[in-house]
Amino acid sequence: MDDVVWKGSGEGLRYAIVGGGMSGIMAAIRLIGQGETNFTVFEKEADIGGTWRDNRYPGLTCDTPSHAYSYSFALNPKWSSYYASGPEIHRYFKDVASDFGVMPHVRCNSEVSACIFDEDSATWTVGLTDGGEVEVDVVIAASGVLHYPKMPDIPGLDTFAGKAFHSARWDDSAVVDGARVGVIGCGSTGIQIVNALSNRAERLVHFQRSPQWIMPVPQFDYSAEQQEAFAKDNALIDAIRHDPDYWAAIYRFTDGITDFNSPQIAEIEEYCRQNLENSVRDPELREKLRPNYRAACKRLIYSWEYYECVQRPAVYVETGAIAQVEPEGVRMQDGTFHPLDVLVLATGFKADRFIRPAVVKGRGGQTLDDFWNPRPTAHLAVTLPDFPNFFMLNGPTGPVGNFPLIDIAEMQWDYLKQLLEPVREGRARCVEPTREAFEAYEERRIAAARKTIFGSGCSSWYLDDTGVPATWPWSYQAFVDAMAAPDWQEFRLEA
């Protein structure tokens, strides 16, 4: 462990940042901006970039406009299109990390296996899977949500003779051009893969038991002249980032989710319904693609091309139940057989993992697994009682419902920075929310979450094991207000 950046480097708090994705890179840059260098970013994989490193499937784009999906302090005039591709976004995060001096602080291939708090010293011991240990004062869990693939429980999957793999573990050796391809799942990933392969595969079967509502959005490329203008004048980028129409849509959605009978949700549903009615010509296919739940109950899909792509001659939409996978393809419960060469499992992620499987023990030996029984949660999505100086970025109960997550992470950082000021200034050894404040928050959150559109009656990865939406149940503005400054009455400072 001699190459850990802060080892023996002297003054200041010592930080461990768990995860080298969007939030972890941002936290590192913010620490450097404060003049703090006693930190290490522990990244379990061989490269940084988080979800944009893991996902390399054809058609990958972000569902937030590229100029909005950028750090406020690192605007990018080189985005090639309104919605950027996955590889382009990955390059952006790597370039930003390099430009801001983050990379010397990053330890790749260093998976955190444990974080153990010592009450006597008010420090955390961070254990790694290679057996190494480091002692820090602050842990920032920036591990993200969607990084442990969820494999479907389908009989016979292991007997498939062709290539079968999860979308987040794309197999570059799989031949899709001119092949018979099946895609299981119709979240954003499944939709994007179908779009990309609809004119490449000989036959493309999209297995979707639960069709999605599709919100139409524009997509266009930026010209070289526009990129040059962006580079010369950041105000042009800010005009896009702060576009009134874009933010009106954000507020319409984030206000609407708080009540599934709201006029905003009705407006969103009408947009989606008109998109389906006006875009899909074949009435039989149109009904196959019509969901039986409220728009936005599942994570809303933004696409400018799915309905066009799914109507191409090579594409077949299968809404029946899968009975089993056989060596040559997929057998449906009604006996229909789909012969396939490649099977892509766009079946999502284990959304309740976060920093786990790392063992986290706080005050009094309290384990994170016990604390998160029956559901992962955190006070205002950032802190946990009995886990002093332990902070989460894009953690449980955070705003994940079509919110611009970079903005969320930056607001969370500004909030936790304020929480740490007494510790940084030596007025306290550690800070944590009180149990009473946390329990009051969680009671309010659960009651509100049940009334959101996410709780209106559908199955989705937003729901925890008890059926409660595991998301921020209030508006975007409510989150802005909550992150503006801590309510110090809700926190315990230990001298």
Q: What is the CATH classification number for the domain harbouring 294?
A: 3.50.50.60
Q: Are residues 271 and 337 in the same domain?
A: yes
d(CA 399, CA 405): 8
Q: Are residues 337 and 355 in the same domain?
A: no
Query: pLDDT for 154-188, tens place per residue?
Result: 999 999 999 999 999 999 999 999 999 999 999 99
pTM, 2 dp: 0.96
Q: Are residues 118 and 165 in the same domain?
A: no
Number of domains in the chain: 2
Q: Is residue 1 part of a domain?
A: no
Q: Are residues 215 and 295 in the same domain?
A: yes
pLDDT of residue 402: 61
Which residues are CB-contacts of 65 (< 8 A; sequence separation ≥ 6)? 82, 83, 240, 246
Concatenating the DSSP letter of every residue in 402-453 gives S--HHHHHHHHHHHHHHHHHHHHTTS-SEEEE-HHHHHHHHHHHHHHHTTSG
Q: Is residue 175 part of a domain?
A: yes
Q: What is the sign of the dihedral through the CA atoms of 351, 24, 47 and 404? A: positive
Q: What is the sign of the dihedral through the CA atoms of 449, 453, 456 and 462? A: negative
Arithmetic mean of pLDDT, 137-156? 96
Arithmetic mean of pLDDT, 272-297? 97
Q: Is residue 472 part of a domain?
A: yes
Q: Are residues 58 and 198 in the same domain?
A: no
Q: Is residue 86 part of a domain?
A: yes
pLDDT of residue 403: 73
Residue 363 reports pLDDT greater than 70: yes
Q: Is the peptide bond before 433 cis (omega within 30 degrees of 0)?
A: no
Q: Are residues 304 and 453 in the same domain?
A: no
Buried b / exposed e across 361-381, counting CB within 10 Å, b at 16+? Answer: bbbeebebeebbeebbbbbbb
203 strand-pairing partners: 180
Q: Is the peptide bond before 357 cis (omega within 30 degrees of 0)?
A: yes
Q: Is residue 8 part of a domain?
A: no
- Output the six-digit token pair for 324: 């089993």
**How long is the chain?**
495
Of 7-16, 116-125, 381-390, 463-472, the least confident: 7-16
d(CA 423, CA 403): 31
Last residue of a domain, one of 313, 345, 377: 345
Residue 7 reports pLDDT greater than 70: no
Q: What is the average pLDDT value for the chain, to the nearest integer?
A: 95
Q: Are residues 282 and 400 in the same domain?
A: no
Q: Are residues 98 and 224 in the same domain?
A: no
Query: pLDDT for 41-75, tens place per residue?
Result: 999 999 999 999 999 999 999 999 999 999 999 99
Q: Is 314 exposed, middle or buried (0-12, 13-18, 19+ CB in 10 A)?
A: middle
Last residue of a domain, one of 291, 310, 345: 345
Contact status, residue 389 vs residue 139, Cβ threshold 8 Å = yes
pLDDT of residue 11: 62
Q: Are residues 250 and 318 in the same domain?
A: yes
Residue 426 reports pLDDT greater than 80: yes
Query: pLDDT for 123-134, tens place per residue?
Result: 999 999 999 999
d(CA 152, CA 150): 7
> What ranges make up the beta strands (E) of 208-259?
214-215
Q: Are residues 460 and 337 in the same domain?
A: no
Q: Are residues 128 and 168 in the same domain?
A: no
Q: Are residues 355 and 341 in the same domain?
A: no
Q: Is residue 244 part of a domain?
A: yes
Residue 430 reports pLDDT greater than 80: yes
Last residue of a domain, one of 282, 310, 345: 345
Residue 3 reports pLDDT greater than 60: no
What are the φ/ψ torsions at residue 369 (nearest 5 degrees)? -60, -45
- Strand 329-332's sheet: what is its strand order? 322-326, 329-332, 337-339
Q: Is residue 426 part of a domain?
A: yes
- Output the six-digit token pair for 201: 């595969």
Domain hosting 201: range is 157-345
DSSP character at residue 168? G
Q: Is 74 exposed, middle or buried (0-12, 13-18, 19+ CB in 10 A)?
A: middle
